[in-house]
Amino acid sequence: MNSLFYAVNILGGLALFLYGIEESTRIFRHNLGNATRDLMSRYTKKRWQAFTFGVMLSAVTQSSTIATSFAVGFVDVGMLSFGGSVVVMMGASLGGTFVSFLLSLDIVKYAPVMFALAFFLSKIKSRGINKIGGVLQGLSIIFLGMLLIKLGTTPLLQEKWFSEIIIKCSSSLIIMPLAACILTSVLQSSSAVVALGISLAASGAIPSSSMLPIAIGVHIGSTTMVLMAGFFSSGRQSTKQLGWATFIYKLAGGIIFIPFIPYVHKLMELYEISASNQLVYGQILLVLANILFLYPFSYEFSVFIAKFIGNRRGEDLTQPRYLDEDLLSVPAISVLLLSKEMIRLADYLEAYLQMLLFPNRRQNYLYSELPAGITELSKCCTEYMYKINISGEREPLQKRYTTLTYTMTVFNGMSKLMTGGLGRCLDDSAISDMFIEHLGGKMWEEFSQLCLKMLRTSMRAFVIKGSGLIDETNKYENRIAKMSRDARRILGKKSYYGPDASQIIRLISILQGLAGMCKEVAQGEEF
């Protein structure tokens, strides 16, 4: 019964530890202001700045995943190269050891005092003090979790069955790092595993010779979630590449560090460093060695990853490439990501219209996949758009968001029209053949070219915000309207009112409706 109670203490401590990390992340996101966002976007231009950004962001949030998430977002909106995101990841691996370092200072016993101070600071009506209280609250919860782990570990080691298991495992230099790697993967937190290792080492359960192998297991295990995210990411290439870059980077660092374990351990023993501190310092030393070995070659490493993790299979047109739910709490970035995804949708619309109007340009696979891709991508963009909260943001961002919502509404209409009525009309070319038979091939060619130019001009207005494009769309719309009237007059003069004429007129009306939507896109961007 006592064993169960002690085990519950350890599990509860781990849960509290992980909750503290999540709370720190939440507080950071909640208090991320415009000035901070602008600073982050500017502070990643140079390699050393990107590295420092990764260190600071990971240390503040106690999560290297957050730094990686921001790095992917910056890559997608063009504010950071992929090579820069790799450097951010390197910095994040160092910042992630911040909590482990604090644990080595043995300030866990002050956790209740820290929590009480954080509680009272949160009650003071000052935004600045509340932020300090929030940061302190996250740290105090982490330390409270560590305190519970210690309360459960020490008496549990007195149980014979438990101590025998620990002794058998710690005697193997393969089992310990493997267990640390698996546990880090399951808990999704290297700091939590280090905290558990510190408690066991301080209680004398694990020998000092096992500390460095455990540090290697934790180092490699911390890549599992980001690798899984990249492996199962069907849309975002930057997520895949950074996931694999993180795994290969830390795996290489761990392998390189293995031959030096005996020498580092002897050096620590010489300076009489305790077993628990050997784990913490070993983790920091491993991360630094990893950085020193690969940081000078970060550019070459990123090029290798980009080539190694290329588009090995066809892109899934139905999956978003840029939208990231994790960055919804940062409107400045999420609006840019939405804009990038809408540009991708615009490309799909243009490609599909071209294939509908000109059957000889159809690519079988792409033509069959585009309707579903347009429909799903339009739905994803709309859902993401409504999740963005820009209340309290600056006027330029609010204005850009308003323009995007207007344009997205028009894109939704275009998507339904092109994958619905227009797609059914032109899929087998029967109606276009009727048009050519009764009105001539020259008129069909000119009418088709005008519609395609109209769409391309409106999309150019959306993408590059070029001035004067609305006048160009007006010109194309007037020409399309004139040709529509001419076509109806020719059909009327022939006194031809059969089913063919009805279908031709329906096709003309649909294309006129599409032209009107194109004009709306251009007008929305210019005004």
Ranges 4-13, 33-42, 135-144, 410-419: which has the least confidence: 33-42
Percent pLDDT > 90 in the chain is 18
Of 24 and 376, more confident: 376
Of 103 and 63, more confident: 103
Its sign, for the CA torsion 189, 192, 198, 200, is: negative
Amino acid at 182: I
C-alpha to C-alpha distance for 131 and 128, rounded to whole angstroms: 5
What is the reported pLDDT for 252? 92
What is the reported pLDDT for 227? 65
Ranges 53-57, 161-165, 503-507, 519-523: which has the least confidence: 161-165
Three-state SS letters, 183-201: HHHHHCCHHHHHHHHHHHH
C-alpha to C-alpha distance for 304 and 141, rounded to whole angstroms: 41
- φ/ψ of 467, rounded to 5, equals -80, 150
C-alpha to C-alpha distance for 270 and 397, rounded to whole angstroms: 59
Closest to 371 (Cα-Cα) out of 420, 322, 411: 420
pLDDT band for position 27 (cuts 50, 70, 90): low
Residue 523 pLDDT more than 50?
yes
- CB-based contact 518:458 (threshold 8 Å): yes
Q: Cα–Cα distances in Å, from 195 out to 4, 146, 388, 440, 508?
A: 20, 6, 37, 79, 70
Tokens 């968001």 -> residue:
401
Whole-model pTM: value is 0.64
Average pLDDT of 158-170? 64
Q: How many CB atoms lie within 10 A of CB 96?
A: 27
The C-alpha torsion from 384 through 387 and 393 to 398, rounded to 10°, is 50
Residue 176 pLDDT more than 60?
yes
C-alpha to C-alpha distance for 522 and 68, rounded to whole angstroms: 36
Of 195 and 235, more confident: 195
Q: How many residues does the chain have?
A: 527
- CB-based contact 432:424 (threshold 8 Å): no
Residue 339 pLDDT more than 50?
yes
Q: Cα–Cα distances in Å, from 121 out to 13, 375, 427?
A: 24, 50, 66
Average pLDDT of 241-266? 89
What is the reported pLDDT for 257? 92
Of 102 and 45, more confident: 102
Closest to 248 (Cα-Cα) out of 116, 92, 86, 15: 86
C-alpha to C-alpha distance for 101 and 305, rounded to whole angstroms: 31
Of 34 and 516, more confident: 516
Ranges 234-238, 444-448, 523-527: which has the least confidence: 234-238
C-alpha to C-alpha distance for 125 and 113, rounded to whole angstroms: 21
What is the reported pLDDT for 312? 45
What is the reported pLDDT for 85? 81
Amino acid at 491: L
pLDDT digits 0-9 by tens, 205-230: 788 888 899 899 888 888 876 666 55
Amino acid at 446: E
Two tokens at 97? Answer: 């050891």
C-alpha to C-alpha distance for 486 and 111, rounded to whole angstroms: 82
pLDDT band for position 190 (cuts 50, 70, 90): confident
Residue 424 pLDDT more than 80?
yes
Average pLDDT of 341-348? 91
If you ran DSSP here, which 8-state letter would residue 329 be given? T
What is the reported pLDDT for 26? 66
What is the reported pLDDT for 164? 65
- Considering 48-62, 141-155, 374-388, the range whose residues carry the highest mean pLDDT is 374-388
C-alpha to C-alpha distance for 375 and 412, rounded to whole angstroms: 8
What is the reported pLDDT for 121? 82
For the chain, percent helix, then strand, then coil, each to nearest 5?
Answer: 85, 0, 15
C-alpha to C-alpha distance for 80 and 32, rounded to whole angstroms: 19
Two tokens at 79? Answer: 């504010």
pLDDT digits 0-9 by tens, 379-420: 999 999 999 988 877 788 888 899 899 999 999 999 999 999
Question: What is the average pLDDT value for the chain, to the nearest integer?
Answer: 80
C-alpha to C-alpha distance for 331 and 308, rounded to whole angstroms: 33
Residue 41 pLDDT more than 60?
no
* Orientation of helix 64-76 relative to helix 331-357, angle to 10°: 40
H/E stretch holding 249 reads helix 237-257
Average pLDDT of 466-493? 83
Ranges 155-159, 211-215, 227-231, 473-477: which has the least confidence: 227-231
Average pLDDT of 483-495? 80
What is the reported pLDDT for 3? 66
